[in-house]
Amino acid sequence: MTVPLEAEPEQLELPVGPEAPPPLPSTPEEVAALARRAAALEARLAAVTTHFRARDAAIERGDDRAMLRTALQSAGRWLDALWCQASPPAADGPPGLPRISIVTPVLNARETIAETIESVLSQAYPGLEYILVDGGSTDGTREIIAHYADRLDLVIAEPDEGLYDAVAKGFARATGEVFAWLNADDFYLPGALDRVGRHFAVFPDDRVVYFENLLAIGDWRFANQPLGLVDYRRLLDGQFLFQDGVFFRRVAYDAIGGLDRSLKLAGDWALWVELARRYPLRRLDGHVSAFRVRPGQLSEDMAAYEAEGAQLQARYAPGQALARSTAERLADLPRHLALALVERLETAAGRLGPRRRLYFPLAPDESVPAAPAGSTRPPMQPLAPARCPISGALPRRLLFSSPDTRFGEAGMNEIWYHPESHVAAVGPEIDRTTLRRLHEWHYGGTTREIRAPAEDAASPFRHCRPAGSDPATALAGLVPAALRRRLVSWADPTMPEMKRMLRGLLPKRTGPLRVLDLACFEGDLLDEFRAEGWRTFGCDPSERTVEAARAKGHGVWLGGVEDALRVIPAEERFDLIILAHTLEHTTEPLLALQRTARLLEPDGLILISTPNLDSAQIDRFGPTWAHWHPPFHRFVFSARTLTGLAGASGLRPLRMRSFSHPYWSWLSLKLNALGLMGAVPHGLAPDAETRAAAEVTALAARLFQNWRGRGDYLYAVLQPDLRS
């Protein structure tokens, strides 16, 4: 059937203003006349906007008008330019970031609305339009919104018929190319809109994208249960998306007729189904938003939600509203087949191997404490993700939040993930003075004891096994205990491991070699190097440990790793510099490594040992892996990260290898039994029962993991890159 082409509205009169502004109205009659004229112009603009949105929606649906538009595409672009009195974009110019319209429906959300608004306005996205729709708040929410009035693009304050009616009102007034809505108790992560805008700019044919959300429960932050691939078929089975993580183009929203305002609970589900009928839903990696779990949410009444959803499922039953032409079904067939194939492959991969690495959703039936012990996060403060130590980029997703599980220090930390450099970074930022004070206190020989939560108390990830069964550990457990004890040593392996890493690489000298141990503590490692004939030097930020190391005869300077270049005399150069479990404690590891490199002889070496983000024990222990160690560890590196840091510091890696030790496995086992509300400090003697399990874990690492780079910690040997 041919769709009649209605006449386009006449051009808006936009006369060029006079050089001098007209006088302001001075009488009530003049003010009223000006208000009436402004209202008329606003109504006219809304009518013109509605016309063009209807025209774009018709083009998107592919009706007769779309075919005319396709035939006259070039002419139409110029006609639009004349109509709007603006120059058309260059056909071959670079794609620009699209304008994104965010709508927040709000009704009595005094406790959360400020954090929601701040999370949007702090995005610093150049093409942002933010619209709030207040359905009649009476609890002080309006006063909070008024505080931001000059920074909001539009506030619609009038009664509505429910959540979806409010959102639809906002979308009707929105002018962006990309739409999304953010509920008044949820929030965006920093950099979220930049990621979305850049994706739509690079992929102009994408219509709908979605992300998996974070859960915000009090001060806790966790990954939500994974959505996997979502398509029309899965949505008909009741699968739903989270509003805050879905972004869609305006033309797609208009083409399906927008939100169903008559719905009260499942309007979001109906919208996703309608979008999925026409378009592929593209899943993007990572997190851009957080869903706050709190009492009184619509999601608490899942029975009513599913009842309304059942009525909608009947609407989409075969042979009813989904009746489509044979040509339409055939056109969609390749896309649906491709989505089905990818979903099957993903499901098969999940069954054959471990779950997605570094993804730790909270179990559906798991509860968390109302607040971690000593939590110090100020209210209404958005997250501050830790940036990549190499590029400075914002992270893609959050792994989990955690208090200090080593010493029980007050406060909450978030562990973020940067896939491009394969590094975990701990936030929020902490200044060097505070970090040094914490190290001085907790690493200074204070009394240490295991802190165990009550058996019936909530403690996230208690006894968690993210990867399920562990074949390597199962096989190692078959080894007789007597033989296992011979194969697994509890002695300090540091010097033997370092000798193995340095074998054949040390520079040739006529005299003794010079070694510098950064963060040398009391000089125990330097004692072993001196026994091997080295000249020994160190650097440490603690006056107490510096004095102890000097008393042993080592040359030691007072200062942290970042201070070494300043406190060590300019003429000093070293053949070997050791960063033994030190680099991960620095707030700026790239800067620390660059400064360290300037203290080397031209053929000198840097030896780094650090926890390994590729450790197989992360797959087993998840967030209870002992080496996360926030807030003391600021980063957890991988071999790829160390290679990137070396390249950015003018160094090149000569050798990398991973190792494991039963003591660290013992710490992980003890913490895994307690969960994140427990604390297991190092320096304690292992108990007999857990000691045996740690030996099995370490033997599994020795037999199956270390040689594959999956050991618990890494060693890397770096050298100045003089090839260029």
Q: Which of 175, 178, 268 is nearest to 230 (CA)?
A: 268
Q: 212 in a domain, yes or no? A: yes
> What pLDDT is stored for residue 297 in this prediction?
63
> What pLDDT is stored for residue 495 in this prediction?
97
CATH number at residue 142: 3.90.550.10
> What pLDDT is stored for residue 92 in this prediction?
43
Which ranges of 562-674 does DSSP label H, i.e. alpha helix?
A: 564-567, 589-597, 616-621, 639-648, 662-674
> What pLDDT is stored for residue 309 in this prediction?
73
Question: Is the confidence at residue 56, as pLDDT, over 90?
Answer: no
User: Tell me: the pLDDT tens digits for 67-86?
Assistant: 343 334 334 433 443 333 33
Whether a cis peptide bond, with omega within 30° of 0, leads into 631 is yes
Q: Are 223 and 215 in contact (CB under 8 A)?
A: yes
| Structural domain count, the chain | 1
> What pLDDT is stored for residue 639 in this prediction?
97
Question: Is the confidence at residue 622, as pLDDT, over 50?
Answer: yes
Kindly report the pTM of this predicted structure: 0.84
Q: 132 in a domain, yes or no? A: yes
Helix count and strand count (H, E) for the chain = 24, 22
Instruction: Tell me which H or E stretch contains 698.
Output: helix 688-700
Q: 205 in a domain, yes or no? A: yes
Is 723 in a helix, a strand, or coil? coil
Q: 723 in a domain, yes or no? A: no
Q: 402 in a domain, yes or no? A: no
DSSP string, 430-494: --HHHHHHHHHHHTS------B---TTS--TTTT--TT---HHHHHHTTS-HHHHHHH---S--H
User: Tell me: the pLDDT tens digits for 472-530?
Assistant: 999 999 999 999 999 999 999 999 999 999 999 999 999 999 999 999 999 999 999 99
Which residues span the domain enclosing 217? 100-322
CA-to-CA distance for 560 and 585, rounded, in angstroms?
A: 10
CA-to-CA distance for 329 and 318, rounded, in angstroms?
A: 13
Q: 90 in a domain, yes or no? A: no
Structure tokens at 659: 């190792």
- Residue 318: pLDDT band (50, 70, 90) is low
Three-state secondary structure string covering 141-207: HHHHHHHCHHHCCEEEECCCCCHHHHHHHHHHHCCCCEEEECCCCCEECCCHHHHHHHHHHHCCCCC
Report which of residues 350 and 249 the model is more confident about. Answer: 249
> What pLDDT is stored for residue 11 in this prediction?
53
At residue 468's C-alpha, the angle toward residues 467 and 472, to 5°, is 80
Question: Is the confidence at residue 714, as pLDDT, over 70?
Answer: yes
CA-to-CA distance for 333 and 484, rounded, in angstroms?
A: 57
Chain mean pLDDT for the chain: 85
Residue 202, number of CB atoms within 10 A of its CB? 9
CA–CA distances in Å: residue 210 to residues 125, 195, 246, 275, 611: 19, 12, 4, 12, 33
Report which of residues 315 and 183 the model is more confident about. Answer: 183
User: Tell me: the pLDDT tens digits for 261-277?
Assistant: 988 888 898 899 999 98
> What pLDDT is stored for residue 95 in this prediction?
61
> What pLDDT is stored for residue 327 in this prediction?
52
> What pLDDT is stored for residue 219 in this prediction?
87
> What pLDDT is stored for residue 644 in this prediction?
97
Structure tokens at 99: 């304008």
- Residue 323: pLDDT band (50, 70, 90) is very low
User: Tell me: the pLDDT tens digits for 653-700?
Assistant: 999 999 999 999 999 999 999 999 999 999 999 999 899 999 999 999
284-298, 467-481, 519-533, range with greatest mean pLDDT: 519-533
Could you tell me what percent of the chain has a pLDDT over 90? 61
Residue type, 162: G
Question: Is the confidence at residue 339, as pLDDT, over 70?
Answer: no
DSSP state of 393: P
Q: Are 417 and 628 in contact (CB under 8 A)?
A: no
CA–CA distances in Å: residue 18 to residues 15, 21, 22, 23, 84: 9, 6, 8, 12, 21
CA-to-CA distance for 72 and 70, rounded, in angstroms?
A: 5
Can you tell me the mean pLDDT for 631-648? 97
Question: Is the confidence at residue 51, as pLDDT, over 50?
Answer: yes
Q: Are 541 and 439 in contact (CB under 8 A)?
A: yes
Question: Is the confidence at residue 330, as pLDDT, over 90?
Answer: no
Residue with tokens 């909070």: 144
CA-to-CA distance for 223 and 467, rounded, in angstroms?
A: 16
Relative orientation angle of helices 64-71 and 73-84, to the nearest 10 degrees: 90
The HSE-up count of residue 99 (CA atoms within 13 Å, CB side) is: 10
Question: Is the confidence at residue 710, as pLDDT, over 90?
Answer: yes
Q: What is the dihedral of CA 588, 389, 215, 406, to 10 degrees?
A: -50
Q: 142 in a domain, yes or no? A: yes
Instruction: Tell me which H or E stretch contains 53.
Output: helix 28-61
Using DSSP bridges, classify how beta strands 289-292 and 555-558 pair: parallel, antiparallel or unpaired.
Answer: unpaired
Which ranges of 279-325 does DSSP label H, i.e. alpha helix?
A: 302-315
- Residue 93: pLDDT band (50, 70, 90) is very low
Residue with tokens 């207040």: 134
CA-to-CA distance for 415 and 400, rounded, in angstroms?
A: 6
CA–CA distances in Å: residue 366 to residues 327, 385, 460, 462, 619: 48, 25, 7, 10, 19
CA-to-CA distance for 12 and 9, rounded, in angstroms?
A: 8
Of 241-245, 486-490, 588-592, 645-649, least confident by mean pLDDT is 241-245
> What pLDDT is stored for residue 382 in this prediction?
57
Paired residues of 615 in beta bridges: none
Q: 697 in a domain, yes or no? A: no
> What pLDDT is stored for residue 326 in this prediction?
52
Can you tell me the mean pLDDT for 457-476? 87
Q: Which of 655, 642, 627 is nearest to 590 (CA)?
A: 642
Structure tokens at 226: 């994974």
CA 319 to chain centre: 43
> What pLDDT is stored for residue 310 in this prediction?
75
CA-to-CA distance for 206 and 178, rounded, in angstroms?
A: 11
Can you tell me the mean pLDDT for 57-70? 56
CA-to-CA distance for 207 and 250, rounded, in angstroms?
A: 9
